Amino acid sequence: MSAPAKPLPQMTPLERPYWEYTRRHELRLQKCGACGALRFPASAVCPECFSDTAEWARVSGRGRVLSWVVFHRSYFPAFEADVPYNVVMIALDEGPVVISTIVGIANEGIRKGLRVEATFEDVTPEISIPRFRPVEE
Amino acid sequence: MPDLERLKRLRNRTAIVGVGASRQGTFPDLDPYTLAIEAFRSALDDCGLVRGDIDGLIVQGPGGVSFVRMGEMLGLNPVAGATFDIGGFATGPLIQYAALLLDSGICRNVALLYGNASRTEGRRFGGETTVTPGREYSSAFYYYGLTSPGAASAFQARLHFETYGTTSRQLAAVPVAQRRHAALNPQAIKKDSPLTVEKHQRSRFICEPLRLYDYCLINDGGVALIMTTAERAKDRRKRPVYLMGLGRHDTYRHSSLPNYLLWRETMPMAAEMAFGMAGIGRDDVDALMIYDSFSINIWFALENFGFCKPGEAGAFTQDGRIELGGEIPVNTHGGHLAESYMQGWLHQVEAVRQLRGECGARQVRGAEIVQYICRGNVASTLIYRN
Protein backbone atom coordinates (compact mmCIF):
# COMPACT_ATOMS: atom_id res chain seq x y z
CA MET A 1 0.00 0.00 0.00
CA SER A 2 1.39 3.41 -0.88
CA ALA A 3 1.87 6.06 1.77
CA PRO A 4 -0.87 8.66 2.06
CA ALA A 5 -0.18 11.88 0.17
CA LYS A 6 1.48 14.70 2.07
CA PRO A 7 -0.39 17.97 2.42
CA LEU A 8 0.21 20.36 -0.47
CA PRO A 9 0.54 24.14 -0.26
CA GLN A 10 -2.62 26.17 -0.45
CA MET A 11 -2.75 27.89 -3.81
CA THR A 12 -4.40 31.17 -2.95
CA PRO A 13 -4.28 34.05 -5.46
CA LEU A 14 -1.74 35.78 -3.22
CA GLU A 15 0.53 32.73 -3.00
CA ARG A 16 0.23 31.51 -6.60
CA PRO A 17 3.14 33.52 -8.04
CA TYR A 18 5.45 32.16 -5.30
CA TRP A 19 4.63 28.62 -6.39
CA GLU A 20 4.82 29.43 -10.09
CA TYR A 21 8.42 30.57 -9.52
CA THR A 22 9.39 27.66 -7.29
CA ARG A 23 8.14 25.36 -10.04
CA ARG A 24 10.90 26.94 -12.16
CA HIS A 25 13.24 26.41 -9.20
CA GLU A 26 13.43 30.09 -8.46
CA LEU A 27 12.92 31.54 -4.99
CA ARG A 28 11.18 34.87 -5.30
CA LEU A 29 9.57 37.03 -2.63
CA GLN A 30 7.44 40.12 -2.92
CA LYS A 31 9.52 43.30 -2.92
CA CYS A 32 7.74 46.54 -2.14
CA GLY A 33 7.70 48.94 -5.09
CA ALA A 34 7.78 51.92 -2.76
CA CYS A 35 10.21 51.15 0.09
CA GLY A 36 11.96 48.07 -1.26
CA ALA A 37 11.21 45.85 1.74
CA LEU A 38 10.98 42.11 1.06
CA ARG A 39 8.12 40.26 2.68
CA PHE A 40 7.19 36.69 3.49
CA PRO A 41 4.60 35.22 3.54
CA ALA A 42 2.77 36.98 0.72
CA SER A 43 0.73 40.02 1.57
CA ALA A 44 -1.63 42.34 -0.29
CA VAL A 45 0.24 45.40 0.94
CA CYS A 46 3.66 46.17 2.36
CA PRO A 47 3.60 45.67 6.15
CA GLU A 48 6.33 48.32 6.41
CA CYS A 49 4.87 51.19 4.36
CA PHE A 50 1.35 50.11 3.30
CA SER A 51 2.15 50.43 -0.41
CA ASP A 52 0.23 48.10 -2.70
CA THR A 53 2.84 47.99 -5.44
CA ALA A 54 5.22 45.04 -5.43
CA GLU A 55 7.25 42.83 -7.73
CA TRP A 56 8.32 39.24 -7.22
CA ALA A 57 12.05 39.70 -6.78
CA ARG A 58 14.49 36.82 -7.01
CA VAL A 59 16.48 36.23 -3.82
CA SER A 60 19.77 34.40 -3.45
CA GLY A 61 18.22 31.46 -1.67
CA ARG A 62 21.13 31.58 0.75
CA GLY A 63 20.80 32.09 4.46
CA ARG A 64 21.50 30.74 7.92
CA VAL A 65 19.63 28.47 10.29
CA LEU A 66 17.95 30.60 12.95
CA SER A 67 16.16 27.85 14.89
CA TRP A 68 15.06 24.28 14.31
CA VAL A 69 12.99 21.47 15.73
CA VAL A 70 12.85 17.72 15.20
CA PHE A 71 9.47 16.03 15.17
CA HIS A 72 9.60 12.72 17.01
CA ARG A 73 5.87 12.37 16.77
CA SER A 74 3.82 12.45 13.59
CA TYR A 75 0.58 14.38 13.52
CA PHE A 76 0.05 13.53 9.84
CA PRO A 77 -0.20 9.92 8.62
CA ALA A 78 1.80 11.00 5.56
CA PHE A 79 4.77 12.01 7.70
CA GLU A 80 4.79 8.84 9.81
CA ALA A 81 7.68 7.28 7.89
CA ASP A 82 9.74 10.50 8.07
CA VAL A 83 9.91 10.66 11.88
CA PRO A 84 12.23 11.99 13.23
CA TYR A 85 12.17 14.84 10.72
CA ASN A 86 13.38 18.43 11.01
CA VAL A 87 11.69 21.74 10.37
CA VAL A 88 13.89 24.82 10.34
CA MET A 89 13.60 28.57 10.42
CA ILE A 90 16.04 30.21 8.06
CA ALA A 91 17.04 33.86 7.99
CA LEU A 92 17.69 34.61 4.33
CA ASP A 93 20.68 36.81 3.53
CA GLU A 94 18.21 39.40 2.27
CA GLY A 95 16.43 39.52 5.66
CA PRO A 96 13.13 37.64 5.62
CA VAL A 97 12.74 34.55 7.78
CA VAL A 98 11.29 31.47 6.10
CA ILE A 99 10.26 27.97 7.16
CA SER A 100 11.66 24.89 5.46
CA THR A 101 13.48 21.63 6.05
CA ILE A 102 17.17 20.80 5.81
CA VAL A 103 18.21 17.99 3.47
CA GLY A 104 21.55 16.34 2.88
CA ILE A 105 22.61 16.26 6.53
CA ALA A 106 21.60 14.28 9.62
CA ASN A 107 19.31 16.08 12.08
CA GLU A 108 22.13 15.97 14.62
CA GLY A 109 24.28 18.08 12.30
CA ILE A 110 21.91 21.04 12.24
CA ARG A 111 23.30 24.06 14.07
CA LYS A 112 22.30 27.66 14.63
CA GLY A 113 24.03 29.74 12.00
CA LEU A 114 24.52 26.80 9.63
CA ARG A 115 25.05 28.17 6.11
CA VAL A 116 22.38 26.85 3.74
CA GLU A 117 20.99 27.39 0.27
CA ALA A 118 17.70 26.56 -1.39
CA THR A 119 17.13 23.45 -3.44
CA PHE A 120 13.83 22.40 -4.95
CA GLU A 121 11.91 19.15 -4.69
CA ASP A 122 9.40 18.46 -7.43
CA VAL A 123 6.56 16.90 -5.44
CA THR A 124 3.96 17.00 -8.23
CA PRO A 125 4.14 18.16 -11.86
CA GLU A 126 2.76 21.51 -10.70
CA ILE A 127 4.44 21.99 -7.34
CA SER A 128 8.08 22.22 -6.32
CA ILE A 129 8.80 22.81 -2.66
CA PRO A 130 11.89 24.76 -1.56
CA ARG A 131 14.17 22.92 0.84
CA PHE A 132 17.62 23.88 2.04
CA ARG A 133 20.98 22.10 2.07
CA PRO A 134 24.20 23.00 3.82
CA VAL A 135 26.84 24.82 1.76
CA GLU A 136 30.37 26.08 2.37
CA GLU A 137 30.75 29.45 4.05
CA MET B 1 -0.85 53.10 23.82
CA PRO B 2 -3.76 52.48 26.18
CA ASP B 3 -5.27 55.50 27.93
CA LEU B 4 -4.02 54.50 31.37
CA GLU B 5 -5.75 57.29 33.27
CA ARG B 6 -9.08 56.16 31.87
CA LEU B 7 -8.26 52.50 32.38
CA LYS B 8 -7.48 53.10 36.05
CA ARG B 9 -11.15 53.83 36.60
CA LEU B 10 -11.77 50.13 36.00
CA ARG B 11 -9.47 49.15 38.88
CA ASN B 12 -11.32 47.02 41.46
CA ARG B 13 -14.66 47.79 39.79
CA THR B 14 -15.50 44.15 39.06
CA ALA B 15 -14.94 40.92 40.91
CA ILE B 16 -15.08 37.17 40.64
CA VAL B 17 -17.62 36.01 43.20
CA GLY B 18 -18.12 32.38 42.25
CA VAL B 19 -15.85 29.62 40.99
CA GLY B 20 -16.57 26.02 40.13
CA ALA B 21 -14.85 23.03 38.63
CA SER B 22 -16.32 19.79 37.36
CA ARG B 23 -14.59 16.46 37.71
CA GLN B 24 -11.27 16.56 35.84
CA GLY B 25 -10.03 13.51 33.94
CA THR B 26 -11.31 11.21 31.21
CA PHE B 27 -15.07 10.89 30.83
CA PRO B 28 -16.06 9.02 27.66
CA ASP B 29 -19.76 9.48 28.39
CA LEU B 30 -19.65 13.24 28.88
CA ASP B 31 -19.56 16.11 26.41
CA PRO B 32 -18.11 19.62 26.93
CA TYR B 33 -21.50 21.18 27.65
CA THR B 34 -22.29 18.71 30.40
CA LEU B 35 -18.89 19.26 32.00
CA ALA B 36 -19.22 23.05 31.83
CA ILE B 37 -22.70 22.91 33.33
CA GLU B 38 -21.47 20.69 36.17
CA ALA B 39 -18.95 23.44 36.95
CA PHE B 40 -21.61 26.14 36.56
CA ARG B 41 -23.82 24.51 39.20
CA SER B 42 -20.88 24.50 41.56
CA ALA B 43 -20.04 28.15 40.85
CA LEU B 44 -23.65 29.26 41.42
CA ASP B 45 -23.61 27.46 44.73
CA ASP B 46 -20.26 29.06 45.55
CA CYS B 47 -21.68 32.59 45.27
CA GLY B 48 -25.34 32.10 46.09
CA LEU B 49 -26.78 33.20 42.76
CA VAL B 50 -29.31 31.27 40.70
CA ARG B 51 -29.32 30.54 36.98
CA GLY B 52 -31.86 33.29 36.27
CA ASP B 53 -29.54 35.95 37.74
CA ILE B 54 -27.13 35.45 34.85
CA ASP B 55 -27.50 38.06 32.11
CA GLY B 56 -24.13 37.65 30.41
CA LEU B 57 -23.03 34.25 29.07
CA ILE B 58 -19.46 33.77 27.95
CA VAL B 59 -18.62 30.28 26.75
CA GLN B 60 -15.35 28.78 25.63
CA GLY B 61 -13.88 25.41 24.78
CA PRO B 62 -11.91 23.63 22.08
CA GLY B 63 -13.86 22.13 19.22
CA GLY B 64 -16.31 24.96 18.71
CA VAL B 65 -18.29 24.95 21.93
CA SER B 66 -21.10 27.42 21.23
CA PHE B 67 -22.49 30.07 23.57
CA VAL B 68 -25.81 29.95 21.74
CA ARG B 69 -26.15 26.19 22.18
CA MET B 70 -25.07 26.52 25.81
CA GLY B 71 -27.73 29.14 26.39
CA GLU B 72 -30.31 26.90 24.78
CA MET B 73 -29.42 24.08 27.16
CA LEU B 74 -29.50 26.41 30.15
CA GLY B 75 -32.79 27.99 29.09
CA LEU B 76 -31.25 31.46 29.15
CA ASN B 77 -31.81 34.52 26.99
CA PRO B 78 -29.08 36.75 28.39
CA VAL B 79 -28.45 40.35 27.36
CA ALA B 80 -25.15 39.33 25.79
CA GLY B 81 -23.12 36.22 25.04
CA ALA B 82 -19.77 35.63 23.40
CA THR B 83 -16.98 33.29 22.53
CA PHE B 84 -13.57 34.27 21.12
CA ASP B 85 -12.09 32.02 18.42
CA ILE B 86 -8.51 32.19 19.66
CA GLY B 87 -8.28 28.98 21.70
CA GLY B 88 -6.47 29.19 25.01
CA PHE B 89 -5.43 32.76 24.32
CA ALA B 90 -9.06 33.73 24.94
CA THR B 91 -9.19 33.21 28.70
CA GLY B 92 -7.70 36.56 29.75
CA PRO B 93 -9.45 38.56 27.01
CA LEU B 94 -12.84 37.01 27.84
CA ILE B 95 -12.51 37.91 31.52
CA GLN B 96 -11.55 41.41 30.44
CA TYR B 97 -14.62 41.52 28.19
CA ALA B 98 -16.80 40.37 31.08
CA ALA B 99 -15.40 43.21 33.18
CA LEU B 100 -16.34 45.69 30.45
CA LEU B 101 -19.86 44.26 30.15
CA LEU B 102 -20.29 44.68 33.90
CA ASP B 103 -18.68 48.07 34.40
CA SER B 104 -20.59 49.57 31.48
CA GLY B 105 -23.89 48.43 32.92
CA ILE B 106 -24.69 46.15 30.02
CA CYS B 107 -24.77 43.14 32.37
CA ARG B 108 -25.15 42.56 36.11
CA ASN B 109 -23.89 39.01 36.53
CA VAL B 110 -21.73 37.33 33.91
CA ALA B 111 -21.15 33.57 33.85
CA LEU B 112 -18.03 32.34 32.08
CA LEU B 113 -18.37 28.66 31.25
CA TYR B 114 -15.66 26.43 29.89
CA GLY B 115 -16.06 22.87 28.64
CA ASN B 116 -13.35 20.64 27.24
CA ALA B 117 -13.66 16.98 26.20
CA SER B 118 -10.38 16.85 24.32
CA ARG B 119 -9.26 13.52 25.76
CA THR B 120 -12.52 11.81 24.89
CA GLU B 121 -12.73 13.50 21.50
CA GLY B 122 -9.16 12.42 20.70
CA ARG B 123 -7.92 15.94 20.05
CA ARG B 124 -4.16 16.06 19.46
CA PHE B 125 -3.62 19.78 18.87
CA GLY B 126 -1.79 19.14 15.63
CA GLY B 127 -2.32 17.82 12.12
CA GLU B 128 -4.84 19.01 9.60
CA THR B 129 -7.47 19.78 12.21
CA THR B 130 -6.51 23.32 13.02
CA VAL B 131 -6.78 26.58 13.26
CA THR B 132 -6.97 30.29 12.88
CA PRO B 133 -3.65 31.64 11.52
CA GLY B 134 -1.59 33.28 14.20
CA ARG B 135 -3.37 31.61 17.08
CA GLU B 136 -0.18 29.84 18.09
CA TYR B 137 1.24 28.82 14.73
CA SER B 138 -0.09 28.85 11.26
CA SER B 139 -1.49 26.21 9.01
CA ALA B 140 0.67 27.78 6.30
CA PHE B 141 3.46 25.20 6.42
CA TYR B 142 1.72 21.82 6.65
CA TYR B 143 3.65 20.71 3.57
CA TYR B 144 6.82 20.74 5.67
CA GLY B 145 5.11 18.72 8.37
CA LEU B 146 5.01 21.77 10.64
CA THR B 147 2.03 21.68 12.95
CA SER B 148 1.07 21.86 16.61
CA PRO B 149 1.52 24.64 19.15
CA GLY B 150 4.19 22.45 20.72
CA ALA B 151 6.37 22.88 17.66
CA ALA B 152 6.10 26.66 17.86
CA SER B 153 7.18 26.48 21.50
CA ALA B 154 9.97 24.06 20.58
CA PHE B 155 11.35 26.58 18.06
CA GLN B 156 11.33 29.19 20.80
CA ALA B 157 12.88 26.89 23.38
CA ARG B 158 15.70 26.14 20.93
CA LEU B 159 16.22 29.86 20.38
CA HIS B 160 16.38 30.41 24.13
CA PHE B 161 18.86 27.56 24.63
CA GLU B 162 21.06 28.71 21.73
CA THR B 163 20.95 32.41 22.56
CA TYR B 164 21.45 32.26 26.32
CA GLY B 165 23.10 28.89 26.89
CA THR B 166 20.14 27.62 28.88
CA THR B 167 19.31 23.91 28.90
CA SER B 168 16.55 21.34 28.87
CA ARG B 169 17.78 20.26 32.30
CA GLN B 170 17.14 23.78 33.63
CA LEU B 171 13.72 23.76 31.99
CA ALA B 172 12.88 20.55 33.87
CA ALA B 173 12.62 22.63 37.05
CA VAL B 174 9.28 23.96 35.79
CA PRO B 175 7.35 20.67 35.46
CA VAL B 176 9.10 19.33 38.57
CA ALA B 177 7.87 22.32 40.60
CA GLN B 178 4.37 22.02 39.25
CA ARG B 179 4.16 18.30 40.03
CA ARG B 180 5.15 19.14 43.60
CA HIS B 181 2.31 21.65 43.73
CA ALA B 182 -0.11 19.15 42.19
CA ALA B 183 0.69 16.69 44.99
CA LEU B 184 -0.99 19.18 47.34
CA ASN B 185 -4.05 19.64 45.15
CA PRO B 186 -6.82 17.02 45.51
CA GLN B 187 -8.20 18.12 42.12
CA ALA B 188 -4.93 17.52 40.25
CA ILE B 189 -4.84 14.62 37.79
CA LYS B 190 -1.11 14.07 38.44
CA LYS B 191 -1.31 14.45 42.21
CA ASP B 192 0.20 11.01 42.74
CA SER B 193 2.84 11.18 39.99
CA PRO B 194 5.93 12.98 41.24
CA LEU B 195 8.55 14.02 38.72
CA THR B 196 12.31 14.41 39.00
CA VAL B 197 14.76 16.22 36.78
CA GLU B 198 16.29 12.85 35.86
CA LYS B 199 12.92 11.43 34.84
CA HIS B 200 12.28 14.53 32.76
CA GLN B 201 15.65 14.17 31.07
CA ARG B 202 15.01 10.50 30.27
CA SER B 203 11.56 11.16 28.82
CA ARG B 204 11.03 11.02 25.08
CA PHE B 205 11.10 14.00 22.78
CA ILE B 206 7.77 15.03 21.28
CA CYS B 207 9.03 17.94 19.23
CA GLU B 208 12.72 18.29 20.06
CA PRO B 209 14.02 20.02 22.13
CA LEU B 210 10.76 19.69 24.12
CA ARG B 211 10.12 16.41 25.91
CA LEU B 212 7.01 14.63 27.10
CA TYR B 213 6.98 16.39 30.49
CA ASP B 214 7.36 19.80 28.88
CA TYR B 215 3.92 19.27 27.37
CA CYS B 216 0.59 19.89 29.06
CA LEU B 217 -1.92 17.18 29.80
CA ILE B 218 -4.88 16.62 27.51
CA ASN B 219 -8.01 15.73 29.46
CA ASP B 220 -11.71 16.42 29.93
CA GLY B 221 -13.33 18.82 32.35
CA GLY B 222 -15.32 21.96 32.93
CA VAL B 223 -14.77 25.26 34.73
CA ALA B 224 -17.07 28.14 35.60
CA LEU B 225 -16.54 31.65 36.92
CA ILE B 226 -19.18 34.16 37.94
CA MET B 227 -18.34 37.84 37.86
CA THR B 228 -20.26 40.87 38.97
CA THR B 229 -19.72 44.53 39.84
CA ALA B 230 -17.82 45.54 42.99
CA GLU B 231 -21.03 46.92 44.57
CA ARG B 232 -23.00 43.72 44.02
CA ALA B 233 -20.04 41.53 44.95
CA LYS B 234 -20.38 42.49 48.63
CA ASP B 235 -23.73 40.70 48.81
CA ARG B 236 -22.38 37.37 47.65
CA ARG B 237 -21.63 34.34 49.75
CA LYS B 238 -17.83 34.56 49.90
CA ARG B 239 -15.13 37.18 49.91
CA PRO B 240 -14.96 38.84 46.47
CA VAL B 241 -11.78 38.70 44.46
CA TYR B 242 -11.39 42.00 42.66
CA LEU B 243 -9.98 42.55 39.20
CA MET B 244 -7.36 45.14 40.01
CA GLY B 245 -5.52 45.34 36.73
CA LEU B 246 -5.65 43.99 33.23
CA GLY B 247 -3.35 44.05 30.25
CA ARG B 248 -3.17 42.84 26.72
CA HIS B 249 -0.90 43.32 23.75
CA ASP B 250 -1.13 41.43 20.51
CA THR B 251 1.48 40.36 17.97
CA TYR B 252 0.28 40.03 14.41
CA ARG B 253 3.47 40.80 12.54
CA HIS B 254 5.24 37.62 11.35
CA SER B 255 2.49 35.59 13.01
CA SER B 256 2.51 32.89 10.33
CA LEU B 257 5.81 31.77 11.83
CA PRO B 258 6.59 30.76 15.41
CA ASN B 259 7.54 34.02 17.07
CA TYR B 260 11.33 34.17 16.81
CA LEU B 261 11.43 37.55 18.58
CA LEU B 262 10.11 35.72 21.67
CA TRP B 263 7.43 38.42 22.08
CA ARG B 264 10.04 40.76 23.54
CA GLU B 265 8.39 43.75 21.85
CA THR B 266 4.81 43.12 22.90
CA MET B 267 4.48 41.20 26.17
CA PRO B 268 6.24 43.89 28.23
CA MET B 269 3.60 46.35 27.05
CA ALA B 270 0.82 44.13 28.37
CA ALA B 271 2.72 44.00 31.66
CA GLU B 272 3.13 47.77 31.89
CA MET B 273 -0.55 48.26 31.12
CA ALA B 274 -1.65 45.95 33.93
CA PHE B 275 0.84 47.20 36.53
CA GLY B 276 0.02 50.78 35.59
CA MET B 277 -3.70 50.21 35.90
CA ALA B 278 -3.37 48.32 39.19
CA GLY B 279 -0.89 50.79 40.64
CA ILE B 280 1.39 48.04 41.92
CA GLY B 281 4.79 46.60 41.09
CA ARG B 282 6.10 43.10 40.58
CA ASP B 283 7.24 42.88 44.20
CA ASP B 284 3.63 43.18 45.31
CA VAL B 285 2.62 39.98 43.52
CA ASP B 286 2.34 37.01 45.89
CA ALA B 287 1.84 34.26 43.31
CA LEU B 288 1.73 33.86 39.55
CA MET B 289 -0.65 31.76 37.50
CA ILE B 290 0.98 31.31 34.11
CA TYR B 291 -0.60 29.72 31.06
CA ASP B 292 1.52 26.61 30.63
CA SER B 293 0.66 24.68 27.52
CA PHE B 294 4.42 24.04 27.53
CA SER B 295 7.02 24.44 30.27
CA ILE B 296 8.91 27.08 28.28
CA ASN B 297 5.88 29.42 28.55
CA ILE B 298 6.86 30.02 32.16
CA TRP B 299 10.25 31.35 31.10
CA PHE B 300 8.81 33.77 28.56
CA ALA B 301 6.20 35.01 31.03
CA LEU B 302 8.77 35.60 33.80
CA GLU B 303 11.23 37.34 31.47
CA ASN B 304 8.85 39.43 29.41
CA PHE B 305 6.90 40.56 32.47
CA GLY B 306 10.08 41.61 34.24
CA PHE B 307 10.21 39.04 37.05
CA CYS B 308 13.69 38.30 35.76
CA LYS B 309 15.80 39.64 32.90
CA PRO B 310 15.66 38.28 29.34
CA GLY B 311 17.77 35.13 29.18
CA GLU B 312 17.84 34.63 32.95
CA ALA B 313 14.75 32.48 33.45
CA GLY B 314 16.81 29.29 33.25
CA ALA B 315 18.76 30.23 36.36
CA PHE B 316 15.85 32.06 37.97
CA THR B 317 13.57 29.01 38.00
CA GLN B 318 16.10 26.83 39.90
CA ASP B 319 16.42 26.16 43.63
CA GLY B 320 12.72 26.27 44.42
CA ARG B 321 12.32 29.94 43.58
CA ILE B 322 9.03 29.27 41.72
CA GLU B 323 7.79 26.73 44.26
CA LEU B 324 5.55 27.21 47.28
CA GLY B 325 7.63 28.94 49.92
CA GLY B 326 9.91 30.35 47.22
CA GLU B 327 10.38 33.88 46.01
CA ILE B 328 7.44 33.80 43.59
CA PRO B 329 5.32 30.62 43.56
CA VAL B 330 4.10 29.76 40.06
CA ASN B 331 1.04 27.63 39.30
CA THR B 332 0.38 26.50 42.84
CA HIS B 333 -2.38 24.20 41.58
CA GLY B 334 -0.04 22.30 39.24
CA GLY B 335 -1.20 24.06 36.08
CA HIS B 336 -1.72 22.42 32.74
CA LEU B 337 1.42 20.36 33.21
CA ALA B 338 0.12 18.55 36.29
CA GLU B 339 -3.38 19.56 37.39
CA SER B 340 -5.63 19.66 34.32
CA TYR B 341 -5.68 21.20 30.85
CA MET B 342 -8.50 23.69 31.15
CA GLN B 343 -6.79 26.34 29.01
CA GLY B 344 -6.16 28.84 31.75
CA TRP B 345 -9.59 28.68 33.37
CA LEU B 346 -8.48 26.65 36.39
CA HIS B 347 -5.65 29.16 36.77
CA GLN B 348 -8.35 31.72 37.57
CA VAL B 349 -10.02 29.34 40.01
CA GLU B 350 -6.70 28.83 41.79
CA ALA B 351 -6.09 32.59 41.93
CA VAL B 352 -9.49 33.05 43.58
CA ARG B 353 -9.00 30.20 46.02
CA GLN B 354 -5.55 31.49 46.99
CA LEU B 355 -6.96 34.95 47.63
CA ARG B 356 -9.79 33.50 49.70
CA GLY B 357 -7.33 31.44 51.71
CA GLU B 358 -8.99 28.18 50.68
CA CYS B 359 -5.92 26.30 49.46
CA GLY B 360 -5.00 24.26 52.52
CA ALA B 361 -1.58 22.63 52.23
CA ARG B 362 -0.70 24.66 49.16
CA GLN B 363 -1.89 28.01 50.53
CA VAL B 364 0.43 30.93 49.84
CA ARG B 365 0.52 32.54 53.29
CA GLY B 366 -0.92 36.01 53.39
CA ALA B 367 -1.66 36.07 49.66
CA GLU B 368 -3.17 39.43 48.72
CA ILE B 369 -2.33 39.79 45.04
CA VAL B 370 -2.20 37.07 42.40
CA GLN B 371 -1.42 37.66 38.73
CA TYR B 372 -2.36 35.62 35.67
CA ILE B 373 -0.15 35.78 32.58
CA CYS B 374 -0.67 34.24 29.17
CA ARG B 375 2.12 34.60 26.63
CA GLY B 376 1.58 34.47 22.90
CA ASN B 377 0.42 36.35 19.86
CA VAL B 378 -2.49 37.40 22.05
CA ALA B 379 -0.69 38.16 25.31
CA SER B 380 -2.93 38.93 28.25
CA THR B 381 -2.71 39.40 31.98
CA LEU B 382 -5.01 39.88 34.97
CA ILE B 383 -4.15 41.13 38.43
CA TYR B 384 -6.44 40.01 41.24
CA ARG B 385 -6.60 41.18 44.85
CA ASN B 386 -8.69 40.18 47.81
386 residues of chain B, pLDDT tens digit each = 899 999 999 999 999 999 999 999 999 999 999 999 999 999 999 999 999 999 999 999 998 899 999 999 999 999 999 999 888 999 999 999 999 999 999 999 999 999 999 999 888 888 765 555 555 555 688 899 999 999 999 999 999 999 999 999 999 999 999 999 999 999 999 999 999 999 999 999 999 999 999 999 999 999 999 999 999 999 999 999 999 999 999 999 989 899 999 999 999 999 999 999 999 999 999 999 999 999 999 999 999 999 999 999 999 999 999 999 999 999 999 999 999 999 999 999 999 999 999 999 999 999 999 999 999 999 999 999 99
Q: Does B123 touch chain A (CB under 8 A)?
A: no
Distance from CA of A22 to the nearest CA of B (A): 14
Complex ipTM value? 0.97
User: Active site includes B143?
Assistant: no
Mutate to test the interface with A, among B137, B144, B253 (most CBs of A within 10 A): B144
Q: Which residues of A84-101 are buried (b: 16+ CB within 10 A; e: fewer)?
A: ebbbbbbbbebebbbbbb
User: Active site includes B114?
Assistant: no
Query: In the prediction, which pLDDT does B112 show?
Result: 98
A84: cis peptide before it, omega within 30°?
yes
Domains of chain B, by residue range, sit at 4-122+217-385
Contact B374, B336 (CB under 8 A): no
Which residue spans of chain A are classified as CATH 2.40.50? 60-137
Burial of A50 (0-12, 13-18, 19+ CB in 10 A): exposed
Instruction: List CB contacts of B365: < 8 A, sequence separation 6 or more.
Output: none
pLDDT band at residue A3 under the 50/70/90 scheme:
low
Contact check, Cβ <8 Å, B145/A79: yes
Mutate to test the interface with A, among B146, B160, B166 (most CBs of A within 10 A): B146
Q: Does domain A60-137 have CATH number 2.40.50?
A: yes
In the CATH scheme, what architecture does the domain B4-122+217-385 have?
A: 3-Layer(aba) Sandwich (3.40)
pLDDT tens digits for range A33-62: 999 999 999 999 999 999 999 999 999 999
Query: In the prediction, which pLDDT does B198 show?
Result: 98
Query: In the prediction, which pLDDT does B85 show?
Result: 86
Query: In the prediction, which pLDDT does B124 show?
Result: 81
Which is catalytic among the residues B137, B215, B291, B384? B291
Give A-chain residues touching B154 at CB under 8 angstroms.
69
- Please give the distance of CA B114 from its chain centroid, rounded to a whole number: 12
pTM listed for this prediction: 0.97
Query: In the prediction, which pLDDT does B323 show?
Result: 98
State chain A's mean pLDDT as an integer: 95
Q: Please tell me which of the candidates A10, A73, A87 has its beta carbon nearest to residue B144.
A: A87
Query: In the prediction, which pLDDT does B63 show?
Result: 84
